[in-house]
């Protein structure tokens, strides 16, 4: 028994000591080694009691955690890339890759097949006409998604890459520049480049503020494009990229501050990606709560953590949330982080509430048939990942004048003899009763008690986020999240934040007449209406649990939480949430 424990300790030490994923999984294996190697019945029973598992249900929890694949996430190094802004001339820059973003207009040539754009003309002259020659041979016209790389010898740059920006970014949109950064990251991976420079062929008409926004988008695209989640792969190739220089976009403390802000936001996005990517046998409600506590401990000067267990949730009469959690052997954990600025008074109190279903089987209305995507239901905690990712970013940014509550009712929606049944009536913490006509509409049940809890913190505004309905994906597709709110003011705030962040939101109607289909004959409401307008009726359901004095907005992010193309989480909404909080800190 001692040798088995020592072996487990060795395994845990090999994994990341700072990772709650690894800590909880290895602890489960240790419990299994301790409890199951005992053959004497009396000793066995005493051992269970000493471990704190006096009831069969808790023992089942140990068994389930101990036998689900023995998967330990490997320790991976997040990208450590140094970003700097310089005014170095392109032809004088020395390094591995010089990447130039070009529009279709930039690629126009004169009657002698020479570039009209002065920057490209100068660079092409330095290369002896090779740039124009290659662009013609490869039919590179600067369209979005196009790129070409020229390998050089004897010059400062080992490679020069032209990357298409299409017709160019318009207005305040930074999406094209984010994509440019991602393309640079891909080129750097392919060549194992250590250092790259990014420049734009056209800078005319750009204000200083525009240049700062573009620099931020380039840094964000490069940093997130470099990151790969290889924790669950037996072998992986590390990125060699160490430094990125942004040329021609200005210099100074304001730009440096913006680049630091971008890195902080990206750290939150990466955390969110890891949480969503983690399988349900690794990321249980307990582990999600441990990750939240880890964030609070890391930024303890501004963040505190409170984790409520089942008994504490019972005391708060969270019957709606506990009804969903009742079937699982993995106990629920109600997560509450609170951010308070390091100095100064608080002018505004905000709450970010995220749906935290670490797995959703559908319950007795089990997900079945083609397209049910039950195998993807690890993503059903995407709302909570956005909330915790934002908490990590804000813990570093430390905006003044604003208090933020991060709230997640974490649990699993499983099937067992203790689980809620279709037709059951649940009582939420605000006293309202809910007839459960579909156990697969569970997210709104957990959010109900989370929203009541958020209102009880005395907040002025609430944004909740959830992978709530397939109906929203049908309406808006995989790349756009739907927003629902009675408040025009709050809608404008959040949409403005999303535009700065480069994320797509679309306001949907709160059609009050649809509430008729949500009425129950035996309770205050049912938890689902008909198929038509499903995302709207879900939002109307959530509204029943928000104080009328509190401004509230719901984000249905079922579509953009996951990329089918990349087969990975997107980290959606963190950038928008951080921008929104920062806006409220300065308003």
- H or E stretch including 96? strand 95-102
Of the listed ranges 6-20, 138-152, 320-334, 531-545, the one predicted with least confidence? 6-20
pLDDT top residue among 142 and 204: 142
Question: Over 90: is that where the pLDDT of 549 sits?
Answer: yes
Confidence class for position 51, pLDDT limits 50, 70, 90: very low
Per-residue pLDDT, averaged over 25-45, amounts to: 36
Question: Over 90: is that where the pLDDT of 35 sits?
Answer: no
Question: Over 80: is that where the pLDDT of 1 sits?
Answer: no
Interatomic CA distance for residues 24 and 288, integer angstroms: 10
Over 219-270, what HEC string results? HHHHHHHHCCCCCCCCCCCCCCCCEEEEECCCCCHHHHHHHHHHHHHHHHHH
The per-residue pLDDT for 74 is 85
Question: Over 60: is that where the pLDDT of 312 sits?
Answer: yes
Per-residue pLDDT, averaged over 12-27, amounts to: 41
Arithmetic mean of pLDDT over the chain: 88
pLDDT top residue among 34 and 453: 453
The b-or-e profile of 152-169 (16+ CB within 10 A means b, else e) is eeeeebbbbbbbbbbebb
Residue-wise pLDDT for 336-381, tens only, equals 999 999 999 999 999 999 999 999 999 999 999 888 999 999 999 9
| Given 444, 461, 504, 543, the catalytic residue | 444
Share of residues in the chain with pLDDT > 90 (%):
77
The per-residue pLDDT for 167 is 87
The per-residue pLDDT for 154 is 59
Q: At 279, phi and psi to the nearest 5? A: -70, 160
Question: Over 70: is that where the pLDDT of 236 sits?
Answer: yes
Confidence class for position 174, pLDDT limits 50, 70, 90: confident
Active site (annotated) includes residue 531: no
Highest mean pLDDT among 7-16, 19-28, 181-190: 181-190
Question: Over 80: is that where the pLDDT of 570 sits?
Answer: yes
The per-residue pLDDT for 33 is 33
As to burial, measured by CB atoms within 10 angstroms (0-12 exposed, 13-18 middle, 19+ buried), residue 509 is exposed
Taken as a whole, the chain contains a residue count of 587
Confidence class for position 219, pLDDT limits 50, 70, 90: very high
Confidence class for position 21, pLDDT limits 50, 70, 90: low
Per-residue pLDDT, averaged over 282-295, amounts to: 97
Alpha helices in 278-408 (DSSP H): 285-298, 310-315, 319-325, 382-397
The per-residue pLDDT for 470 is 95
Tell me how far CA of residue 134 lies from CA of 110, 111, 138, in angstroms. 16, 17, 6
Do 288 and 384 meet the contact criterion of CB atoms below 8 Å apart?
yes
The token pair that represents 377 in the structure block: 């239901």
Active site (annotated) includes residue 444: yes
pLDDT top residue among 115 and 111: 115
Confidence class for position 72, pLDDT limits 50, 70, 90: confident
The per-residue pLDDT for 65 is 56
Question: Over 60: is that where the pLDDT of 44 sits?
Answer: no
Confidence class for position 156, pLDDT limits 50, 70, 90: confident
Of the listed ranges 48-62, 466-480, 560-574, the one predicted with least confidence? 48-62
| Given 317, 367, 398, 432, the catalytic residue | 367
Interatomic CA distance for residues 59 and 61, integer angstroms: 5
pLDDT top residue among 15 and 424: 424
As to burial, measured by CB atoms within 10 angstroms (0-12 exposed, 13-18 middle, 19+ buried), residue 566 is exposed
Residue-wise pLDDT for 470-491, tens only, equals 999 999 999 999 999 999 999 9
Which positions ≥6 away from 103 have C-beta within 8 Å?
142, 164, 165, 166, 167, 168, 201, 202
Confidence class for position 113, pLDDT limits 50, 70, 90: confident
What would you report as the CA-atom Rg of the chain, rounded to the nearest whole angstrom? 26
Interatomic CA distance for residues 542 and 555, integer angstroms: 11
Question: Over 80: is that where the pLDDT of 77 sits?
Answer: no
The per-residue pLDDT for 152 is 83
Per-residue pLDDT, averaged over 65-81, amounts to: 76
The per-residue pLDDT for 357 is 98
Confidence class for position 19, pLDDT limits 50, 70, 90: very low
Of the listed ranges 4-13, 278-287, 326-335, 539-548, the one predicted with least confidence? 4-13
Per-residue pLDDT, averaged over 197-214, amounts to: 92
Do 121 and 111 meet the contact criterion of CB atoms below 8 Å apart?
no
The per-residue pLDDT for 195 is 95
Question: Over 50: is that where the pLDDT of 527 sits?
Answer: yes
Per-residue pLDDT, averaged over 173-186, amounts to: 91
The per-residue pLDDT for 205 is 84
pLDDT top residue among 94 and 68: 94
Interatomic CA distance for residues 139 and 164, integer angstroms: 12
Confidence class for position 17, pLDDT limits 50, 70, 90: very low
């Amino acid at each position: 028994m001692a040798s088995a424990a020592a072996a487990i300790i060795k395994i845990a030490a090999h994994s990341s000591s700072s990772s709650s994923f690894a800590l909880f999984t290895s602890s489960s294996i240790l419990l299994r080694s301790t409890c199951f190697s005992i053959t004497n019945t009396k000793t066995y029973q005493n051992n269970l009691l000493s471990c704190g598992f006096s009831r069969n249900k808790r023992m089942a929890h140990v068994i389930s955690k101990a036998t689900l694949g023995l998967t330990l996430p490997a320790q991976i190094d997040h990208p450590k890339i140094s970003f700097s802004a310089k005014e170095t001339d392109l032809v004088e820059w020395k390094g591995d890759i010089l990447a130039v973003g070009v529009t279709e207009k930039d690629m126009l040539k004169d009657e002698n097949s020479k570039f009209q754009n002065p920057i490209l003309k100068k660079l092409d002259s330095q290369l002896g006409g090779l740039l124009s020659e290659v662009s013609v041979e490869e039919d590179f016209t600067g369209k979005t998604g196009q790129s070409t790389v020229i390998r050089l010898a004897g010059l400062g740059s080992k490679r020069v890459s032209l990357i298409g920006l299409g017709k160019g970014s318009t207005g305040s949109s930074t999406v094209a520049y984010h994509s440019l950064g991602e393309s640079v990251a891909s080129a750097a991976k392919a060549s194992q480049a250590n250092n790259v420079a990014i420049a734009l062929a056209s800078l005319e008409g750009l204000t200083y503020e525009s240049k700062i926004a573009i620099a931020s988008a380039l840094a964000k695209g490069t940093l997130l494009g470099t990151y790969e989640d290889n924790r669950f792969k037996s072998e992986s190739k590390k990125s060699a990229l160490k430094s990125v220089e942004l040329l021609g976009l200005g210099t100074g403390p304001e730009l440096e501050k913006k680049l630091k802000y971008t890195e902080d936001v990206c750290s939150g996005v990466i955390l969110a990606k890891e949480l969503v990517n983690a399988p349900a046998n690794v990321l249980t409600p307990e582990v999600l709560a441990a990750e939240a506590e880890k964030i609070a401990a890391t930024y303890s000067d501004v963040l505190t953590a409170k984790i409520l267990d089942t008994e504490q949730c019972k005391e708060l009469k969270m019957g709606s949330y506990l009804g969903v959690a009742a079937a699982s052997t993995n106990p629920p954990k109600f997560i509450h982080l609170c951010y308070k600025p390091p100095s100064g008074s608080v002018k505004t109190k905000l709450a970010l509430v995220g749906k935290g279903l670490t797995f959703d089987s559908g319950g007795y209305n089990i997900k079945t048939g083609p397209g049910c995507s039950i195998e993807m239901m690890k993503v059903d905690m995407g709302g909570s990942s956005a909330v915790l990712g934002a908490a990590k970013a804000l813990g570093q940014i430390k905006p003044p004048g604003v208090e933020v509550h991060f709230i997640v009712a974490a649990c699993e929606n499983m099937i067992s003899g203790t689980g809620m049944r279709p037709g059951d009536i649940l009582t939420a913490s605000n006293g309202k009763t809910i007839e459960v006509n579909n156990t697969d509409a569970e997210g709104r049940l957990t959010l109900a008690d989370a929203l009541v809890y958020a209102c009880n913190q005395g907040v002025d505004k609430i944004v909740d986020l959830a992978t709530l309905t397939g109906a929203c994906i049908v309406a808006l597709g995989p790349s756009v999240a739907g927003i629902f709110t009675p408040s025009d003011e709050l809608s404008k705030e959040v949409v403005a934040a999303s535009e700065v962040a480069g994320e797509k939101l679309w306001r949907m109607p709160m059609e009050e007449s649809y509430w008729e289909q949500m009425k129950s004959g035996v309770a205050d409401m049912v938890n689902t209406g008909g198929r038509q307008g499903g995302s709207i009726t879900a939002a109307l359901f959530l509204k029943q649990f928000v104080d009328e004095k509190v401004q509230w907005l719901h984000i249905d992010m079922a579509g953009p939480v996951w990329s089918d193309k990349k087969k990975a989480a997107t980290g959606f909404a963190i950038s928008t949430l951080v921008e929104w909080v920062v806006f409220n800190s300065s308003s």
